[in-house]
Structure 1
Amino acid sequence: MEIFNSLEEIRDIEPTVVALGNFDGVHRGHQQIIERTVRSADAMRLRSAVFTFSNHTSTLIKKLPDVKNILYPEEKARIIEDMGIDYLFNIPFTEEILTMPPARFVKDILVDKFMIREAYCGFNYSFGYKAEGTPEVLMHEGIKHGFGIHVQEPYEIDGVVVSSTYIRKLIAEGDMEKCTRFMGRMYSIGGEVVVGNKLGRTIGFPTSNIMIDESMATPPNGVYITYCTYNGVKYPSVTNVGVKPTVGTYAKNIETHIFNFDRELYGKKIKVEFIKRTREEKKFDSIEALSRQIESDCIMAKAYHREKGSL
């Protein structure tokens, strides 16, 4: 897959079928749009492409703080590439694009830059000045410029429309099982392992600690059954998200105990995938009481992993 990080980089490309949207979670609704794009491009012997923005549009449109990410940029690109896309147009969302009239947006970007022959988008896709560009406007412009438009109806699971906003809500509530169903994959957070207070090692449950990435949506404090990926290998694990109230005052972080694993990971990159929340974080009366609870948490997590055949 060829990635373009600015409009200026795009030149001498082949005609395309383009999936249009933020694709900030590449959730199951997004996946359907991308799959249809790839199939259409293959049938028409054109290049498949995804057009998205490298920053979230709400930040500029609503003048809000950065919207929390569901995917890291490199993970988003990898997922899109794995779906068979040829070109990823990962363009900064700027004031110029924000204020661009819809007709000019179509002509200058979709037609002249992307060499578009066909487009796929969601029912709520918007573009151009004051979001005046709608799927209906896109259809009108498509007739004018000679490219086809396919609009996907709302993608629902159990009567709920799949959206990145709803997925952020599920993450914030700690409903990781439903999050997995809506995303089509487990939610994950990655980072470099840092030195913690080393309490886990002294009580028999060594952990690998990563700091909270403030750019990412984060599950609430509590204990989770997880997988931990290191060096391309996925290991069953149990994870605490929180501030360790029993042993002092700490910044919120993620500490993972990896089963049947005894390697030192300080300074190494790991990824933690969240399967299921088992309890809230709480303050215990003593280190001994905390140790007993951790042992119980591990027993529960191991039972789950054994049932799934991963331990």
Structure 2
Amino acid sequence: MEIFKDWRGLPAAAKGACVALGNFDGVHLGHAGVLRAAHAARPDAPLAVLTFEPHPREFFRPQDPPFRLSLSPERAEALAGMGVQLLYELPFDAAFSHLSAGQFCREVLHEGVGAVHLACGGDFAFGHRRGGDVALLARQAEAFGMGLSVVPPVSDAQGLISSSRIRRLLQDGYPGYAAMLLGRPYTIRGEVRHGDARGRTIGFPTANIALGRHLEPARGVYAVTVRLPGGAEVNGVANIGQRPTVGAAESRLEVHLLDFEADLYGQELSVALHHFLREEQKFPSFEALKAQIALDAAQARAMLDRDQNPAKPL
């Protein structure tokens, strides 16, 4: 997949695509429905996504707590896995936010990326102060000779599949249900940083990763799998939170990799949350904490082994 950061001056090979529009935070099953509709409408054209970085909500409300399900590299990887060939990841800044809906259609979609067909959800809004809706998009698309597919929302028995619903599931401690709506486990990707090394002193060394702009899921302990830089996956047990036993103030992700020893400082890991084991809690001593971590690790090992070997007898 090729990634372009501007709609201006694109090479001819990057134009003439069927373009799906939206933020695509999380790249969930609802987004997959938009991509399928886009491809079905024009299977002869390259499949493309036009999205924004940062997320417009981050630009307009920087004081909000982090809420992103997927940052730029994670989103790109997920879209590539769904067959997207071209990604227009446009910088969302003050100048871009002042483009009118008409300018967006003419300058970006028609003249810039040269879209032959568009696809979006029924709630797609665009342009200065979200002045454009799908009705306006339809009129503009017709005027510029672009096709348009407005894709109905994807739902399950519990309701609409959306990024906001997935966020709530993660914040309530249901990574398994979130994975069903994402089509894959929820993953936090980040660089391993130096911590206070307390885990090593009690026999459970951890890789410490800042949550950064990622949504903070429910605080507590998880069974996880960790993808290493070379692509190998290792099972682990992780804590997300402020570590009340040691009195830390900043929430972060700490991962203990099972049956694995290596120096991972400075390397980027992808940590997939599979099962929520327990809430974060404060222990009266490091010995009590050490005993509980041993229990957590054993539980995580058993649950992940069952996931990965479903036919194995109990």
- Structure 2-normalised TM-score? 0.89
Aligned to 1:69: 68
**Paired-residue identity, %:** 31
Q: Partners of 1:58 and 1:199 in 2: how far apart?
A: 37
State how 1:82-97 maps to structure 2 within 5 Å. Answer: 82-97=81-96
Q: Is the 8 A contact 1:58 1:67 kept in 2?
A: no
User: 198, 207, 219: which one pairs with 2:217?
Assistant: 219
Moved more, 139-148 or 300-309: 139-148
Q: Partners of 1:37 and 1:155 in 2: how far apart?
A: 15
Amino acid across the alignment from 1:19:
A
State how 1:5-154 maps to structure 2 within 5 Å. Answer: 5-12=5-12, 13-42=14-43, 45-61=44-60, 65=64, 68-154=67-153
Q: Partners of 1:244 and 1:58 in 2: how far apart?
A: 30
Question: How far 1:73 sits from its partner (Å)?
Answer: 0.7
Pick closer, same or farther for the CA change 1:55–1:9 going to 2, 3 Å.
farther
Amino acid across the alignment from 2:196:
N
Aligned to 1:235: 234
Question: How far 1:62 sits from its partner (Å)?
Answer: 5.7
Q: Which runs of 5+ in 1 are unaligned?
A: none
Pick closer, same or farther for the CA change 1:229–1:6 going to 2, 3 Å.
same
Deviations along 1:237-294, one digit per CA (max 9) or x if unpaired, are 1111122222343532221111111223233222211112111111111222212211
Amino acid across the alignment from 1:80:
L
Deviations along 1:34-86, one digit per CA (max 9) or x if unpaired, are 233234333xx222211111111124456754753211211211221222222
Q: Is the 8 A contact 2:69 2:214 kept in 1?
A: yes
Q: Partners of 1:119 and 1:138 in 2: how far apart?
A: 9
Q: Secondary structure at the match of 1:192?
A: strand
Q: Is the 8 A contact 2:34 2:121 kept in 1?
A: yes
Question: How far 1:88 sits from its partner (Å)?
Answer: 1.1
Aligned to 1:184: 183
Q: Is the 8 A contact 1:50 1:85 kept in 2?
A: yes
Deviations along 1:82-108, one digit per CA (max 9) or x if unpaired, are 222222111112334433332332122
Q: Partners of 1:241 and 1:251 in 2: how far apart?
A: 10
Q: Is the 8 A contact 2:41 2:149 kept in 1?
A: no
Q: Partners of 1:65 and 1:247 in 2: how far apart?
A: 27
Question: How far 1:181 sits from its partner (Å)?
Answer: 1.4
RMSD: 2.2
Pick closer, same or farther for the CA change 1:39–1:193 going to 2, 3 Å.
same
Q: Secondary structure at the match of 1:190?
A: strand
- Structure 1-normalised TM-score? 0.90
Q: Is the 8 A contact 1:56 1:67 kept in 2?
A: no
Q: Is the 8 A contact 2:7 2:113 kept in 1?
A: no
Q: Partners of 1:11 and 1:230 in 2: how far apart?
A: 35
Question: How far 1:129 sits from its partner (Å)?
Answer: 2.9
Question: How far 1:208 sits from its partner (Å)?
Answer: 1.9
Which runs of structure 1 show a deviation greater than 6 angstroms over 4 or more consecutive aligned residues? Answer: none
Pick closer, same or farther for the CA change 1:203–1:60 going to 2, 3 Å.
closer
Q: Secondary structure at the match of 1:279?
A: strand
Q: Partners of 1:66 and 1:8 in 2: how far apart?
A: 33
Q: Which runs of 5+ in 2 are unaligned?
A: none
Pick closer, same or farther for the CA change 1:120–1:266 going to 2, 3 Å.
same
Pick closer, same or farther for the CA change 1:104–1:249 going to 2, 3 Å.
closer
Matched, 1:278 2:287: no
Q: Partners of 1:53 and 1:126 in 2: how far apart?
A: 13
Q: Partners of 2:202 and 2:308 in 1: how far apart?
A: 27
Q: Is the 8 A contact 1:14 1:46 kept in 2?
A: no
Q: Partners of 1:274 and 1:298 in 2: how far apart?
A: 14
